[in-house]
Amino acid sequence: MATYDLVVIGTGPGGYVCAVRASQLGMKVAVVEKNATLGGTCLNVGCMPSKALLHASEMFEEAGHSFAKMGVSVSAPKLDLPTMMNFKQQGIDGNVKGVEFLMKKNKVDVLKGTGKILGTGKVEVSADGKSQVIETRNIVIATGSDIARLKGIEIDEKRIVSSTGALSLDKVPGKLLIVGAGVIGLELGSVWKRLGAEVVVVEFLDRILPGMDGEIAKQFQRILEKQGFAFKLGAKVTAVDSSGKTLKATIEPAAGGAAETLEADVVLVCIGRVPYTDGLGLKEAGVALDPRGRVQIDPHFATSLKSVYAIGDVVAGPMLAHKAEDEGVAVAEIIAGQAGHVNYDVIPGVVYTTPEVSSVGKTEDELKQAGVAYTVGKFPFTANGRSKVNQTTDGFVKILADAKTDRVLGVHIIGIEAGEMIHEACVLMEFGGSAEDLARTCHAHPTRSEAVKEAALAVGKRAIHM
Ligand code: FAD
Ligand code: NAI
């Protein structure tokens, strides 16, 4: 007799959510975690600590630069970095404890140690030189991802850092060189820029934020440049000399050509993440990987080994916490014999900078490439009353709808609170709604969300306030 119905390896947002849902469905569940704390990348060194620092640094920036114009007169704010880091840590601790509570509440056993799959129904859990074999009917691999490294550039997490080191610097770098203009580079670059660093971002491609709508990315780049970001696009860092007091980075044009040297106090390498499968024993157990090293799954999250499933960053798809969570729920339901499902066409993406960038569905570039006939409705925040009175008018809402059916295919927003506003578009798209549906939905006044309604009206060329 197996001890458990389900053992989940990894307690990130994919793993712990899967465990809770499986327990709700009546399964006896255990989670295996090799870290000292639960919650995975997201809670410990990802989403949550980065958002705590983004919030605190934004308050610092606002106090220094925005209060006075509203008649709030304060003396220049002073940075107390240790207290800011403590604020971040309190947030991490609170959330990690929350996951521990959820495990207890749902009677999920927490097995601390490294999980290794010995075959169908068998997981070895090792910690402190001891190991035990757990018998289970089903296994879910939710081991997440790790930082991608640059060949020849060694990350010491002090001066040459990944996102993990960049979340815990002990002083504000005079010059921060960021490799990669993706989500991490722009979010953590914003944090240290606001706290006083000079930020230069080196990006391999000729644009920032690949994957996001091109028009949005262009305007976002201009806004970041106004904030003081410097970008070197179409360039790559090929070496970092750390022998001297300041780092010397060699930068080459992506297309080849003469190299230049840039000095920096800290170099942040954030060129993507890779699936994490170390120590899981997948090859020996017969769990197949795809050519990019991700655990290969079928549409029902099943791996090549019977009763072994995989979800989250370790499988294909966007490396996002909410995608991992939804897959966790879906796989638990499938194991319980239900019809668990994730709609990959409606997974929002948010960049938590100021302003925020959010997106769901197809970009204009994708629609063009696929030859889909579409109509565009746009509405700028400069024409939105609430944004005007708050003097936060950067950005716009862009809605892409099918030219024939008016069905909304993609929504892209750049602006304050864009990360909250995107969800009405998600619900609409989940129900297959049209721009007309959105345009006829009453929106409270005065809200920034009225810009979403106006963009939907603009699809039919009848925006009121523009
Ligand atoms: P993870 O969260 O990586 O968890 C995997 C867990 O498995 C870890 O705890 C690990 O210790 C454990 N594990 C691995 N191997 C074993 C083993 N053999 N035995 C036992 N345990 C094991 N996403 C967003 O949606 N929004 C954001 O704002 C956001 N911000 C981010 C900021 C940063 C700086 C980073 C790095 C990432 C961010 N992400 C964000 C991405 C998000 O963190 C991941 O998509 C998410 O954590 C993936 O969840 P997961 O459950 O698949 O894996
Ligand atoms: P990313 O994939 O977002 O961006 C990496 C960038 O580095 C790309 O623009 C890429 O073109 C560039 N690049 C790659 N190799 C390079 C090189 N040699 N030189 C210069 N540039 C190079 O990856 P990032 O920012 O590391 O984030 C990893 C993952 O974490 C993301 O995929 C995202 O899913 C997740 N994340 C999500 C957040 C959110 O949802 N707000 C926040 C932070 C991370």
Query: Does the beta carbon of 115 lie inside 6 Å of ligand 1?
Result: yes
Using the CB atoms, write b or e for 157-166: b if 16+ within 10 Å: eebbbbbbbb
The protein residue whose alpha carbon is closest to atom 33 in ligand 1 is 46
Query: Does the beta carbon of 277 lie inside 6 Å of ligand 1?
Result: no
Spacing, Cα 168 to ligand 2 middle (Å): 19
Tens digits of per-residue pLDDT, 388-397? 999 999 999 9
Contact 333, 20 (CB under 8 A): no
The pLDDT of residue 1 is: 66
User: Residues 300, 423, 445, 465: which is the catalytic one?
Assistant: 445
The pLDDT of residue 62 is: 96
The pLDDT of residue 2 is: 73
The pLDDT of residue 155 is: 97
Rounded Cα distance, 30 and 6, in Å = 7
Query: Does the beta carbon of 34 lie inside 6 Å of ligand 1?
Result: yes
pTM, two decimal places = 0.98
Sequence-ordered list of residues with C-beta below 8 angstroms from that of 47, at least 6 positions apart, any chain: 41, 321
The protein residue whose alpha carbon is closest to atom 26 in ligand 2 is 272
Q: Is 55 a catalytic residue?
A: no
Rounded Cα distance, 95 and 101, in Å = 10
Tens digits of per-residue pLDDT, 312-361? 999 999 999 999 999 999 999 999 999 999 999 999 999 999 999 999 99
Spacing, Cα 29 to ligand 1 middle (Å): 20
Ordered structural domains, the chain, with CATH: 3-145+274-335 (3.50.50.60), 160-271 (3.50.50.60), 349-459 (3.30.390.30)
Low-confidence ranges of the chain (pLDDT < 70): 1
